[in-house]
Amino acid sequence: MFYIIGLMPTPSLGQLELAALLAVTHLGDKAYGLAVRRELSARIGRDYSVGAVYTTLQRLEDKGFLKSRTGDPLPVRGGRSRRHFVLTGAGTRALREAQRNAAALWAGVGTVLRPEAT
């Protein structure tokens, strides 16, 4: 009996997943759900629903690309706790792989594309 041992392939990233990972990276310690949503809206120019953002963050955590922790409740009456997200080593590797893949896809295309008319 033989076993073939190799590296497990990195799960693929969708466009919103990639954008959310980059937003978490950019926000650092301030990466909680609503802040990620605001960051996505500011950078992409699209207003994602709260549910779409939280579902994406949960999916990234399930894939092992993010970890989360619950912070202290806000100091206002009835303040809720925020769920803060941080990139894992697997998340960093996934971002690097996505960057390499994008660079490989764009290699040589620059000469074909014309500047957009403004």
Length of the chain: 118
Mean pLDDT of 14-27: 96
pLDDT at 32 over 80: yes
Tell me the average pLDDT of the chain: 87
Q: What is the pLDDT of residue 110?
A: 67
Domains assigned to the chain: 15-106 (1.10.10.10)
Q: What is the pLDDT of residue 17?
A: 96
The answer to whether residues 64 and 17 touch, using CB atoms and an 8 Å cutoff, is no
What is the Cα–Cα distance from 30 to 84, expressed in whole angstroms? Answer: 7
Question: What is the secondary structure of 15-26 as a DSSP string?
Answer: HHHHHHHHHHHH
Q: Which helix (H) or strand (E) holds 72?
A: strand 66-73
pLDDT tens, position by position, 55-113: 999 999 999 999 999 987 777 777 788 899 999 999 999 999 999 998 888 887 766 66
Q: Three-state SS for 61?
A: helix
